Amino acid sequence: MTVSTVYRRVPRKKVQRSPLRSAVATGVVLGIVGVYLAAVGILAMMHGRPIIVDVLSLGQAALLAIGLSVGTLVARRESGQPLRHTLPLSILAGAIAGGVLGLLVIAMIVLDLRSIFIALSPALLEMLTFELDPIAGIAVLVGGGAMLGGIGALVAASPTAIRKPLVVGFAAVAFFGVFQELIQIMMQFGDAIGAVRETIYTWDGLTLGGAGLIFVVAVVACVIWMRFRRRDRGVESIRSPAERRTAQIAKIVVAALLVVLFPVVAGSYIGQVLMMVGLYILMGMGLNLEVGLAGLLDLGFVAFFAVGAYTTALLTADSSHALAAYTSLPSLSYWAAMPIAVLVSVIVGILFGVPVLGVRGDYLAVATLGLGEIVRVIVQSDAAAPLLAGAEGILQIPKPSWPTLLGGPELSDPVQLFFLTLACAAVAAYCAWRLENSRLGRAWMAVRDDEDVAQALGINLIKVKLLAYGLGAAFAGLSGSIFAVMLTSVYPSSFQLLVSINVLALIIVGGMGSLPGVIVGAVALVGLPELLREFGENRYLVYGVALIVMMRIRPEGLWPSVTRRRELRAAAGETEIEPSSIVGAAAPDAQRPGE
């Protein structure tokens, strides 16, 4: 009998734990997190950085966050239960978390743990005990943990109109306190801004009065914004399509004005950071064509970035290694050299793709990695040193000047170069958007999904793949051209494998195949570490934690494409499967010839 079967999704059965056991486990886990932060030295390092001068340090804020998180997690896990049920559990979980830290205090007093964990210093012991007697300090840890757990439960159970402004207010205080050095640098321009800085800051950090002022302003702004959003949603339903389009355009214009004006107000350092973000956005849009749309995993993408930089250097530099030094060609201006650099990058991208046309999947990643390393080795080799200067690099690359029609001095300030990067990124984004929605873009997506089916439908795989490599290389070459004039020099050490990995990471974090995701990913992965530079090497700790949290909360990316989101959600629903019979299950077997 012929049996036709299909597979249907069957959700996995979740193991239900008792509320008490769950609360105890939550308290123990977050308590262990606090112990780990103390043992590896993170808590002591954070304690040395004030949020509010002589009132609250970052380490103390971390302990507060642990207690509040315990209560919030327990309350949300029991969200269907009344507050009188969740509040005692949250208080118990907070007390347990504080008790685990109390056990660490006892162990530090009784045992010689510093021979193993050098971070468990007397200064850390004073912090954990709040400079009190050890017994009193442990009591404060347990009692304070219980109180914070209860507060966390109350906050979780409160209405959104109350909870959200409070969270925004405390987050604003933490932001202005943690990044006080960077913010004070940004607030040095103008008498009015300087007066505001003196009101909320001292040279040591945020004052208590300044923290209160920031909290009030943030809460009021959040309340106004929530009311505006509520009213806007009510009006949205009765708006005509033309009015909705106008409102959308107005929002885009306001966002663009903020992007343009922010570096002007914030100063050169922020302009430099935003410029680096813009360069990675350019490279991300290029790699997104290859990986996100065409499915061609390329780990040698930095080679195109290097080609654009070195081409610009050879055509414009006042150096013995520039083409003008040993040929009859004159030194070109940046505006003449930039399109040549892009064209050369396209040619190299096409040549780059020819050897790997028949390679797929992980093997393609290894092959492109090898090609990228070949380019780097050639640049550093003695054979190419007469032309490319080897490890010495090419120096004295002039800054670009305004075009002849506009006139004016050279673009030497980081803010001015940021505007150049922003203009190039805007043009590149428009081209990438048109490519994504074109016939070629649909062919790329077909190749990404299944090469064999795409070829059967008449798509020329060779043409489509080479166009993906060539056009992706054009974006990277443009970025490399701007990078060369930003530094006024190029060195082989600037084009390491890590650049390709960072570009690939920002695409994954932002959302594979999503143009807005490239922008968001570049801001998160390039802008965040630069803003955290004042934390020294510890900034990579925050960077890594942020990556883990983003990938746990949004595995499809911060701003994924609609197709990518649908694919991942469908994959998440396919858990356990079982066959079930459908029509034709009882049909008799067909008699075979000869039987």
294-309: average pLDDT: 92
Q: Say what the pLDDT of residue 190 is.
A: 62
Separation CA 419–CA 408 (nearest Å): 15
- Read off φ and ψ for residue 87, nearest 5 degrees: -60, -50
188-214: average pLDDT: 83
Separation CA 337–CA 322 (nearest Å): 12
199-203: average pLDDT: 86
Structure tokens, 98: 């504080």
Q: Kindly report the pTM of this predicted structure.
A: 0.81
Per the prediction, the chain carries an average pLDDT of 84
- pLDDT above 90 as % of the chain: 40
Antiparallel, parallel or unpaired: β 576-581 and 5-10: antiparallel
Q: Does pLDDT of 408 surpass 80?
A: no
Say which residue, 433 or 190, is predicted with more confidence. Answer: 433
User: ∠ at Cα 231 (230, 233), nearest 5°?
Assistant: 65
Q: Does pLDDT of 584 surpass 60?
A: no
Q: Does pLDDT of 337 surpass 80?
A: yes
Q: Does pLDDT of 416 surpass 70?
A: yes
Q: Say what the pLDDT of residue 210 is.
A: 92
Compute CA distances 327 → 310, 344, 395, whole Å.
Answer: 17, 19, 18
Q: Does pLDDT of 193 surpass 80?
A: no
Q: Does pLDDT of 591 surpass 50?
A: no
Separation CA 594–CA 550 (nearest Å): 64
CB 27, CB 97: distance < 8 Å: yes
Compute CA distances 231 → 216, 224, 361, whole Å.
Answer: 23, 11, 49
pLDDT tens per residue across span 454-465:
999 899 999 999
Q: Let me know if 397 is exposed, middle or buried by CB neighbors in 10 A (0-12, 13-18, 19+).
A: buried
Which helix (DSSP H) or strand (DSSP E) does residue 557 occupy? none
Which of 4, 26, 38 is closest to 128 using CA atoms? 38
330-336: average pLDDT: 88
Q: Say what the pLDDT of residue 281 is.
A: 94
Separation CA 529–CA 541 (nearest Å): 10
161-185: average pLDDT: 88
Separation CA 570–CA 53 (nearest Å): 50
Structure tokens, 301: 């993408």
Q: Does pLDDT of 478 surpass 90?
A: yes
Highest mean pLDDT among 141-150, 173-182, 370-379, 408-417: 141-150
Q: Domain map of the chain by residue range?
A: 18-157, 161-230, 266-503
Structure tokens, 177: 């306190």
pLDDT tens per residue across span 532-551:
776 666 677 777 777 787 77
Cα–chain center distance at 353:
29
Which of 508, 502, 513 is closest to 558 using CA atoms? 508
394-408: average pLDDT: 74
58-72: average pLDDT: 92
CB 473, CB 348: distance < 8 Å: yes
Q: Does pLDDT of 520 surpass 70?
A: yes
pLDDT tens per residue across span 486-510:
999 999 888 988 899 999 989 988 8
Q: Does pLDDT of 594 surpass 70?
A: no
Say which residue, 353 or 252, is predicted with more confidence. Answer: 353
48-60: average pLDDT: 88
217-221: average pLDDT: 94
First to last CA, the chain: 15
Q: Pick left, alpha or beta for residue 224 (phi over 0 → left; psi -120 to 50 → alpha; otherwise beta).
A: alpha
Separation CA 257–CA 255 (nearest Å): 5
Q: Does pLDDT of 578 surpass 50?
A: no
